[in-house]
Structure 1
Amino acid sequence: MKNILNKFFPAITVSALLLAGCQKMSKPDLGEYPEDANPPGGPLSFYVAFDGTTDNNLKNAVDSIRANYPSDNPLTSVDGISGKAIKGETAKYVKYIKPNDWAITAKSFTVSSWFKRDGQTKNNENGNGPEYILSFRAANDYNWSNGNFLFFLEGNNAACGVKLYIQSKNGDGWLTWEGGQMIAGLLDNKWHHIAAVYNAPTSTMTLYIDGVANPNTKVWGTHGDLNLDDEKIAEVRIGRGPRNDSEADGAAGWLQSSFKGEIDQVRLYSTALTAAEVQSLFVNKK
Structure 2
Amino acid sequence: MKTTRISAWVAAGLVVGTALFTACSKSDDTPSLPPIGGYNSSNEVAATNLLAHWTFDGTNNERISSTAPSTSKNATFGTGASGKGQSLSLAGGYVLFPTIAKLSSANAIGSVTVSAWINTTNNGKTASSVFALTQALASQGDWNDGPINMYLENSKPTTKGDTLTVHAAFHTLKDGKYSLGGDNINDYGVAGTDFQYVKGGGKWIHYVMVYDGANSTIDLYVNNVLVSNKNFRLRTAGTPAAPIGPITIATPTQVVIGGWPNADSGYTKSTTQAWQGLFTGGIDEVRVYGKALSSTEIGSLYQLESAGR
TM over 0.5: yes
Larger CA deviation: 129-138 vs 65-74: 65-74
Map 1:1-286 → 2, pairs under 5 A: 7=38, 36-37=43-44, 42-52=48-58, 60-74=59-73, 75-82=75-82, 83-90=85-92, 92-104=93-105, 105-120=108-123, 128-139=125-136, 140-145=138-143, 147-148=145-146, 149-155=148-154, 156=159, 157=161, 159-170=163-174, 171-177=179-185, 178-180=187-189, 181=195, 183-187=197-201, 189-214=202-227, 216-217=229-230, 218-221=233-236, 222-231=243-252, 233=253, 235-245=254-264, 249=271, 251-252=273-274, 254=276, 257-285=277-305
Deviating runs (4+, > 6 A) in structure 1?
none
Q: Greater shift after overlay, 178-187 or 111-120? A: 178-187
Determine helix, strand or coil for the equivalent of 1:264: strand
Secondary structure of residue in 2 paired with 1:93: strand
Q: CA deviation at 1:253?
A: 5.3
Do the aligned partners of 1:77 and 1:84 also contact (CA within 8 Å) in 2?
Answer: yes
Which deviates more, 267-276 or 72-81?
Answer: 72-81
Counterpart-to-counterpart distance in 2, 1:5 and 1:111: 20
d(CA) in 2 for partners of 1:276, 1:45: 19
Could you say what the CA RMSD is over the residues aligned between the two structures, in angstroms?
2.9
Deviation per residue, 1:159-187 (Å, 9 max, x gap): 43222233321333231213344733121
Structure 2 contact 142–271 (Cα < 8 Å) conserved:
no
Alpha carbons of 1:113 and 1:87: their partners in 2 closer, same or farther (altered >3 Å)? Answer: same
Answer yes or no: is the 8 Å Cα contact 1:163–1:176 preserved in 2. yes
| Distance (whole Å) between structure 1 residues aligned to residue 272 and residue 57 of structure 2 | 36
What is the DSSP-based 3-state SS (H/G/I as helix, E as strand, rest coil) of the residue aligned with 2:203? coil
Superimposed CA distance per residue, residues 254-284 of structure 1 (whole angstroms, 9 cap, x where no aligned partner)? 2xx2111110011100011111110112112
TM-score of the superposition, structure 1-length normalised?
0.73
Distance across 2 between alignment mates of 1:213 and 1:194: 10
**CA apart distance, 1:239:** 0.7
Unpaired segments ≥5 residues, structure 1: 12-34, 53-59, 122-127
- Is residue 108–residue 271 contact of structure 1 (8 Å, CA) maintained in 2? yes
**Paired residues of 1:152 and 1:163 also in contact (CA < 8 A):** yes
Deviation at 1:154, TM superposition (A): 1.0
Identity %: 23
Mapped partners of 2:278, 2:274: distance in 1: 12
Task: Sort the Cα spacing of 1:68 and 1:151 in 2 relative to 1 into closer, same or farther, 3 A.
Answer: same
* Distance in structure 1 (CA, Å) of the matches to 2:188 and 2:72: 34
| TM-score normalized with structure 2 length | 0.68
Q: Which amino acid aligns with 1:259?
A: F
What one-letter code is carried by the residue in structure 1 that aligns with 2:263? Answer: N
Distance 1:87 1:161 in 2: 21
Contact 1:211 1:279 in 2 (8 A): yes
Aligned length: 239
Unaligned runs of 5+ in 2: 1-34, 190-194, 237-242
